Structure 1
Amino acid sequence: MAKRSEYDARHLSVLEGLEAVRKRPGMYIGSTDSRGLMHCLWEIIDNSVDEALAGYASTITVTLHPDDSVEVTDDGRGIPVDVEPRTGLSGLEVVFTKLHAGGKFGGGSYNAVGGLHGVGASVVNALSARLDARVTRGGKVHQMSFRRGEPGTFAGSTANPDAEFSPAAEGSPVEVVGKAKRGATGTTIRYWADRHIFTPDARFDDEELSNRARQTAFLIPGLRLTVRDLRGETPSEEVFQYDGGISEFVDFLSTDSAVTDIWRIQGHGSFTERVPVIGEDGRSHMEDVERDCEVDIALRWGIGYDSTVRSFVNIIATPKGGTHLTGFEQALLKTFRKTVEANARRLKAGNDKLEKDDVLAGLTAVVTVRIAEPQFEGQTKEILGTSAARQIVSKVVEKQLAQRLNSTKRGDKQQSTAVLEKVVSEMKSRISARMHKETQRRKNALENSSMPAKLVECRSKGVENTELFIVEGDSALGTAKLARSSDYQALLPIRGKILNVQKASVSDMLSNTECAALLQVIGAGSGRTFDLDAARYGKVVLMTDADVDGAHIRTLLLTLFFRYMRPMIEAGRVFAAVPPLHRVEVIHPGRKANEVRYTYSETELNRLLAHLESEGLRYKEPIQRYKGLGEMDADQLSETTMDPAHRSLRRIRVADAEAAERVFDLLMGSVVAPRKDFIIEGSKALDRERIDA
């Protein structure tokens, strides 16, 4: 029998002060990798941002130094340096050494803030090899240094975390290191993250820092936020300042053409919250407190189907949403359902009900609320938990959005009609996609095919190796039928140039014969409901003529895929065939058979002819120039364009979705002027000899 181990009070560990933070850092910052390192930086930045949010700071500067330290400076009021009566310590020491201490617990110093648990600065201090805090206040410059959370003094005049350190005596005063101009205030925090705590590969993310700084500048109009990076050979500096607030933020986030202008919804509400309050006797008791909740939302709809919704509480991002976002989405759906039902006949909406995704399609929105002492889930503040926020946000949005949608003003009425038609079109598209999904499965012996009659199907039932060739015209179809491998290659002919879906509505796209046939054949739905796993073919190959019309048709097809079947492109399953332009028959003397060579450009043809001349070889004239796929016979088409052993395919990729969105909007969108400028600018580099006329 195993011996029972002893377990009594002497085996219990008591972690005091900041020891708990160093022992279990993940509990406070989430992780000890780059994400946790960035979270520490946000804690310091957010303290400065709270000063700006309260109206006391107008500039914040973040500096990344070459010695792996980071510095945050603001022109706020400065951390208090006088003695805190309960602890007998200076306010500066209390803020950086005591957990759950600060000016954000209802003492009247702040109303709505991002940092509210009082552990941010002290946690960063505990996880830093060195932290220097410099406060300008009362005509003096005060300074205090810490090593791994312990106050003291570092030897030497150069800031170095490895310098000799002397712990301070208990209750030591803050050191005065200089004088300040009259009225000048502010705080500078510089710290070196403790590499014994963080993983060796933990690094500050430059892009994330810039995005967060830009976001903060959008959320606090007029705030000037500077990010300096002194680590590389060439120092860099970015300055962010936006006076338009979240309206500018929505404009920045929007990538597609607008259906509506940017609408602003603002309001407030109050609620009663029961919270623990510490009385004068030091005891805690429950008390009802009246809270205010300010709501500020900017939103607009675009022609796309992707939605971008950012939510914030006291300018702190809540990427996983919370009660405020729930209230916003509920109000959107409820208001649009009411309005569509009231105008069902005019909008031809039928009896179907809108779903949330129908309303969110093409929406770009920034949802912000300001609440004193909001309830978050965890120190990372990713989800708002204050239940009253849902109802307040819902009421504000429902009331003002209904007024906007039912407005009789000319401009408002046009935009309202446009967005209502878009939402109804999204609903019809979703219903059509669901019906397609249910009925368009690969045929087998027990079920009939509902595929278009012009589809030339392949025999294979497996998706992985099958290919769908979209061919231009019936003449090319006839040749492709003979050239294909019927085991795994299917053919779908299209007549001429399909609809430009960048300009058209969803309903116009679905009613277009060629577009509808293509969606039906691929069988995975469209837009937001597109299901890549349901696609009936492993590859889709666009096989158009090697001329201007063929290039235009290919562009129209790619626009359809990008707009409504983007996951196919993102998965690398859409290709463009590369048919040859020329066929050169090289004459060999004697009994040796003539050799056929294909070229794919004028440059390649000239290079081949020069090589043949240098070798003393002749070729048949005239050289055959293919104007279209129909001019090839089946053997030639198979060898050059369809046979995997010899063909070349161009894979269509989207490395940057936002950049691609802008290009499609420029080249295929409804606004003509930017496209005209693009063509005129590009014409300067055009070689007239390359024009095939």
Structure 2
Amino acid sequence: MSRIDSEIVTAEYSAHHLQVLEGLEAVRKRPGMYIGSNGSPGLMHCLWEVIDNAVDEAVDGNGDKIDIILHDDGSVEVHDRGRGIPVDIEPRTGLSGVEVVFTKLHAGGKFGGGSYAASGGLHGVGASVVNALSERLDVEVDRGGKVYAMSFHRGEPGIFTDTGEKRPDAPFRPFEDKSELRVIGKAPRGVTGTRIRYWADRQIFTKDAAFQLKDLETRARQTAFLVPGLEILVRDDRDRGPQTPAASAEGVLAPVVDEVPREISYRYEGGISEFVDYLATDPPVTDNWRIQGEGTFKETVPVLQADGHMIATEVERTCAVDVALRWGTGYDTTVRSFVNIIATPKGGTHQQGFEQELLKVLRSQVEQNARRLKVGNDKLEKDDVLAGLTAVLTVNVPEPQFEGQTKEILGTPAVRQIVAQVLRKDLAQRFSSTKRDDKNQASQLLDKIVSEMKARVSARAHKETQRRKNALESSTLPTKLVDCRTNEVARSELFIVEGDSALGTAKNARNSEFQALLPIRGKILNVQKASVSDMLSNAECASIIQVIGAGSGRTFDIDSARYGKVILMSDADVDGAHIRTLLLTLFFRYMRPLIEDGRVFAAVPPLHRVIVMNPGSKPNETIYTYSEQEMHALLAKLRKSGKRWHEPIQRYKGLGEMDAEQLANTTMDRSGRLLRRVRMEDAEAAGRVFELLMGNEVAPRREFIIDSSGRLSREAIDA
């Protein structure tokens, strides 16, 4: 490029090409900077901003109930019983407090520290960002015996002319000279609060963006745990329509989603201790330990002066720490961290301080008890300490530093050391306690984490031997395994077959190229009740784990699994269902990644074989049905068309009653079989169900059976 050309290009890029976005215009232009995305997560983040403001009021002692309503027209409403947004005039802007909150970025009552000691909605962009990204937003404030109202269209204040139900596309007239905060009624004496209803702007959000009820209920539940005594009601008024199962090209049936309650209320008095009890599903090794404390630190921040200038000032902060934790017999780790009631799913300095100090204290305790624990030269790692831990960590910090507006990571450096100090002091007292109960729990905890360390060291040394090639070369696989020939893991299938009689038929029915068979005898061990050592010493459980070849528990490596699909093939009767449930318990507890990856299936063998007689020399037709209802519907259809069938209709009691051709056509051949994929949408809920149905506690299971007996059809029981 010549010098002259270079000068021309440079001259074309000048100051007038720089775009300055002011006010809410910047939010609409770059929504991802404020809410992360313009899909469902961003839509939910807008809702969190509104809810967090309501929760801040409740935390500050104003109001004990919040209503969240998903309306059928796509809007959402949040109603709190707080003090109500200020309605008087803000002196610098000349606008009402309501308009300032909803139209000015970085405006609110959470900057100076006078209105809120510690809050989640800190950055002052929550309400204004939601307003900017809404096609319509209506706010009503109960305050001083009056009901005030204001409406906005894509962030601009004005008046909608509604002829009936409120609609975002109703005629809108923006204010021209001066905006108006209308008084639309009287509020009962002593009643205060704020109602916000908004319609998300579909010019901003994607077509498939929708409010996720499951996420909303999870957030409401955890907030109710974190703010004892606060009631949060969630109501879904949307029309969800009928929910039907969908089948894939291979015949895999997706599960039917149960109808969820349209209204549910959350209120807990036990705080984070009750939250830990809710999250933990395994039997306890320690009690629920509650650790509380606080510390101070200094930081330099810009402080707004009376004359409007910002001056860097050193201020002293107080950080309050509250932790509830317990260890269980399992190996999963559940740590939930929060800052001023706001979840920090990606952690931050508070969680770093918690995990680092936990490791440091327990390493010291193991070293002091090295002879009894027989640890040798091995050292604990963080995963050893966190195995089986369920913890909820909360800190309250004035003006916390978050990494980004989405507030997923706490960045305040001083919090790390304060959390560590509080944890160090409390754990030192617990481990040095002379009380018998404390000493027993400390001893059991050290035994558990040392056993986790030894399992990790052993698994690391033997990891390569678990792979398919090594397993085949070492000839350690069970002799009863009927393996397949292919080396392609994604293509291979392992059928876990009930009984030797079914195995004989399945051998002739399978495709030996990619279908392997492993027979089990009867009902395996209920691993929900048994210890790890009992499970490993059980021949059937050990064989299944050995054949799959990916290990078990915390050391399970899904990349080492020898088969792309694991298919549970049991009889279509009550005993077969029980065997399938016991197998699923084994997979859920010790090989959960297979379920999470969608690689565990249940075969669906037919219940009946109907032979339809055709006239003349035309061969008879064989039709298989999979339920009593389906069979009766088929017979009614045949009767209506004048066709006859062989009597009696064959009812299969087990897989062994089929010949190889029938078993292949109905259950094993990919072109004609049906499989039910085992899914786990909510690990916590699944864990509670397994503990209820398969755990040690009998009383809750008895109550469940009695309460659910009315929903069971007698015809569904194969007697």
TM over 0.5, shorter chain: yes
| Distance change in 2, residues 1:186/1:660 (3 Å) | closer
Structure 2 CA distance, aligned partners of 1:284 and 1:356? 43
The one-character-per-residue Cα deviations of 1:527-559 (angstroms, maximum 9, x if unpaired) are 233222211234445577899887766654443
Name the SS for the 2:26 alignment partner: helix
Name the SS for the 2:489 alignment partner: coil
Structure 2 CA distance, aligned partners of 1:682 and 1:640? 36
1:211 matched to 2:218:
yes
Instruction: Report if the CA contact (8 A) 2:402-2:410 is conserved.
Output: yes
Equivalent residues in 2 for 1:571-650, closer than 5 Å? 571-574=597-600, 644=669
Q: Aligned residue for 2:245?
A: none
Q: Aligned residue for 2:487?
A: 461
Name the SS for the 1:222 alignment partner: coil
Q: Aligned residue for 2:24?
A: 18
1:80 matched to 2:86:
yes
Q: Aligned residue for 2:466?
A: 440
Deviation at 1:142, TM superposition (A): 3.4
1:184 matched to 2:210:
no
Name the SS for the 1:32 alignment partner: coil
Q: Aligned residue for 1:167?
A: 175
Equivalent residues in 2 for 1:371-410, closer than 5 Å? 371-410=397-436
Q: Give me the CA root mean square deviation.
A: 4.8
Instruction: Report if the CA contact (8 A) 2:222-2:275 is conserved.
Output: yes
Give the partner amino acid of 1:163: P
Identity of aligned residues (%): 67
Structure 1 CA distance, aligned partners of 2:184 and 2:651? 87
Structure 2 CA distance, aligned partners of 1:460 and 1:248? 51
Greater CA deviation, 552-561 or 105-114?
A: 552-561
Greater CA deviation, 664-673 or 114-123?
A: 664-673
The one-character-per-residue Cα deviations of 1:626-645 (angstroms, maximum 9, x if unpaired) are 9997x999x89997999758
Structure 2 CA distance, aligned partners of 1:637 and 1:150? 69
Deviation at 1:229, TM superposition (A): 4.0
| Distance change in 2, residues 1:105/1:185 (3 Å) | same
Greater CA deviation, 100-109 or 488-497?
A: 488-497
Return the match for 2:334 from 293, 303, 308.
308
The one-character-per-residue Cα deviations of 1:208-262 (angstroms, maximum 9, x if unpaired) are 3333222222211112223344454999543322222222222333334444443
Give the partner amino acid of 1:223: L
Structure 2 CA distance, aligned partners of 1:157 and 1:641? 60
Return the match for 1:565 from 591, 610, 616.
591
| Distance change in 2, residues 1:447/1:7 (3 Å) | same
Return 5+ residue gaps in structure 2 as ranges.
Answer: 242-260, 610-621, 632-637
Instruction: Report if the CA contact (8 A) 2:467-2:550 is conserved.
Output: no
Instruction: Report if the CA contact (8 A) 1:470-1:541 is conserved.
Output: yes
Name the SS for the 2:416 alignment partner: helix
Return the match for 1:102 from 95, 98, 108.
108
Equivalent residues in 2 for 1:147-296, closer than 5 Å? 147-155=153-161, 159=166, 161=168, 162-170=170-178, 174-232=181-239, 236-296=262-322
| Distance change in 2, residues 1:468/1:344 (3 Å) | farther
| Distance change in 2, residues 1:16/1:553 (3 Å) | closer
Q: Aligned residue for 1:142?
A: 148
Structure 1 CA distance, aligned partners of 2:240 and 2:565? 46
Return 5+ residue gaps in structure 1 as ranges.
Answer: 584-595, 606-610
Q: Aligned residue for 2:678?
A: 653
Deviation at 1:572, TM superposition (A): 4.9
Structure 2 CA distance, aligned partners of 1:686 and 1:377? 55
Name the SS for the 1:292 alignment partner: strand
Name the SS for the 1:40 alignment partner: helix
| Distance change in 2, residues 1:582/1:318 (3 Å) | closer
The one-character-per-residue Cα deviations of 1:463-498 (angstroms, maximum 9, x if unpaired) are 344454556788998998899876656565667765
| Distance change in 2, residues 1:557/1:424 (3 Å) | farther
| Distance change in 2, residues 1:670/1:338 (3 Å) | farther
Structure 2 CA distance, aligned partners of 1:72 and 1:11? 42
1:35 matched to 2:41:
yes
Equivalent residues in 2 for 1:413-492, closer than 5 Å? 413-443=439-469, 448-451=474-477, 459-468=485-494
Structure 1 CA distance, aligned partners of 2:450 and 2:330? 14
Give the partner amino acid of 2:106: H
1:320 matched to 2:373:
no
Aligned residues: 677
Give the partner amino acid of 2:231: R
Deviation at 1:419, TM superposition (A): 3.9
Q: Aligned residue for 1:335?
A: 361
Return the match for 2:66 from 49, 56, 60.
60
1:668 matched to 2:694:
yes
Return the match for 2:553 from 506, 520, 527.
527
Q: Aligned residue for 2:324?
A: 298
Deviation at 1:564, TM superposition (A): 0.8
| Distance change in 2, residues 1:424/1:160 (3 Å) | same
Name the SS for the 2:303 alignment partner: strand
Greater CA deviation, 333-342 or 316-325?
A: 333-342
Structure 2 CA distance, aligned partners of 1:552 and 1:369? 46
Instruction: Report if the CA contact (8 A) 1:429-1:526 is conserved.
Output: no
Structure 2 CA distance, aligned partners of 1:654 and 1:445? 29
Name the SS for the 1:401 alignment partner: helix
| Distance change in 2, residues 1:686/1:77 (3 Å) | closer
Instruction: Report if the CA contact (8 A) 1:440-1:450 is conserved.
Output: no
Name the SS for the 2:95 alignment partner: coil
Structure 1 CA distance, aligned partners of 2:68 and 2:76? 7
| Distance change in 2, residues 1:418/1:444 (3 Å) | closer
Deviation at 1:372, TM superposition (A): 0.2
Structure 2 CA distance, aligned partners of 1:268 and 1:499? 48
Structure 2 CA distance, aligned partners of 1:392 and 1:376? 17
Instruction: Report if the CA contact (8 A) 1:295-1:393 is conserved.
Output: yes
Deviation at 1:370, TM superposition (A): 0.6
Greater CA deviation, 324-333 or 466-475?
A: 466-475
CA radius of gyration, larger in: 1
Q: Aligned residue for 1:360?
A: 386
Greater CA deviation, 679-688 or 264-273?
A: 679-688
Instruction: Report if the CA contact (8 A) 2:86-2:98 is conserved.
Output: yes
Q: Aligned residue for 1:592?
A: none
| Distance change in 2, residues 1:407/1:166 (3 Å) | same
